[in-house]
Amino acid sequence: MRAYERLIKYARIYTTSDSTSETCPSTERQLALAGLLAEEMKEIGIIDAKVDEYGYVYGTVPATPGLESRNSLGFIAHMDTSEAAPGDNVKPIIHENYSGDDIVLGGGTVIKTATFPFLKDMVGETVVTSDGTTLLGADDKAGIAEILTACEIIISSNIPHGKLCIGFTPDEEIGRGADKFNIEGFGADFAYTVDGGDAGEIEYENFNAASASIKIKGFSVHPGDAKDKMVNAINVGIEFQNSLPYFERPEHTEGREGFYHLDEIKGDISNLEMYYILRDHDLSKLEEKKDTMRHTAKRLNEKYGEGTVTVELRDNYRNMIEKIRPHFHLIETARKAVRLAGLEPKELPVRGGTDGAVLSWKGLPCPNLGVGGFNFHGCAELASAERMDKATEIIVNIVKLYAE
């Protein structure tokens, strides 16, 4: 079975995580995919595949006799999909021999070449999308599909290999994918997450990340008698937002430029809550952003009264590069594997985070590989069957190189 065929099967299973839940996994529906994956792993020869009490899927492919001394190598992907777009009732559509034109889908979704110029490079490929009313789920069901397809190839073809450790996580999209990951039980010396963009991408730098919860307490009186009395929490919230650097928003940044992102706002005149994510590749600049939020709250409290604005800051994850540098053979091997697949490596800083960033800081060095997918977290998401084949080939090549 080709990787894209597995993706289509997995995409139909509803696995959106829930950031408001306090359980692990955050949604029971993720367990449906977890159970299916464990059974499929057993069918291809991963006999110890299992789902643990938190919904994580684990399995191992024992080393080829004589290669037990090689490093144990892990491959990890996540099962959940983002809350940013509908993830239920996904209906994958296959566009064979793609023409290079705009892709018109249902729900008013048009994947335009003017907006996404990389589409012109995909002429002739088999492109997979949703029907336009949901996301597709290539993030990260494409990664799962490629890992299992690579395992099937390695096992069925008797390709020499060291011990391979396979792991699929819940709740990556809400920043909890590595929380309950059993690194010791997983058994890998090093690992790769397969959760990036185009095939051939190698990512080993990511944002340092923090989140901010802003609570604003207003004072409501009748608007006809409000002069010098009312404190409108909504207006204070607007003032807080407008006090942050305008050009340090996601829509104005790229590359290694960090940002403040107002992710959610709710409330009324009396009480308002605002939720931000803060990102920067440079840790010192992230700390500056946190300080800016504290100073903004201090200034507004001086203006409107102590206790009007409170700020709660929480660190989420760190840049993995600090933990990858001492094990740079992971990157050098990935480069070789990409070139063996006929591609040129693309090394990009991740404008986000992966399970691998958290796992790297927990002691499992874990850079990230591309999957052949694009436009994640929206109804314009798509994947290329041919690029998924290349991503699978790259995984197999890595395994071969570490067995030499």
Distance, in Å, from the CA atom of 79 to the CA atom of 185, rounded to the nearest integer, reads: 19
Residue (of 94, 79, 101, 102) closest to 131 by Cα position: 94
| b (16+ CB within 10 A) / e for 188-220 | bbbbbbbbbbbbbbbbbbbbbbbbbebbbbbee
List helix spans (H) across 280-380.
283-304, 321-324, 329-340, 355-362
Please identify which residue in the block is written with the tokens 């985070």. 353
152-155-158-159 Cα dihedral, nearest 10 degrees: 70
DSSP state of 219: B
Give catalytic status of residue 291 as yes or no: no
Choice among 40, 80, 195, 203 that is catalytic? 80
State the distance between the two ends of the chain, measured CA to CA, in whole angstroms: 27
Sheet holding 368-369, edge to edge: 50-51, 57-61, 164-169, 73-78, 190-194, 368-369, 201-203, 346-347
Cβ-in-10-Å burial (0-12, 13-18, 19+) of 381 comes to buried
Distance, in Å, from the CA atom of 113 to the CA atom of 123, rounded to the nearest integer, reads: 11
Choice among 40, 139, 140, 172 that is catalytic? 172
CA distances (Å), 42 to each of 36, 72, 193, in order? 10, 20, 21
Give catalytic status of residue 172 as yes or no: yes
CA distances (Å), 167 to each of 192, 346, 356, in order? 10, 25, 12
User: Residue 276 pairs with which residues in a beta bridge?
Assistant: 212, 262
Question: Mind telling me the catalytic residues?
Answer: 80, 172
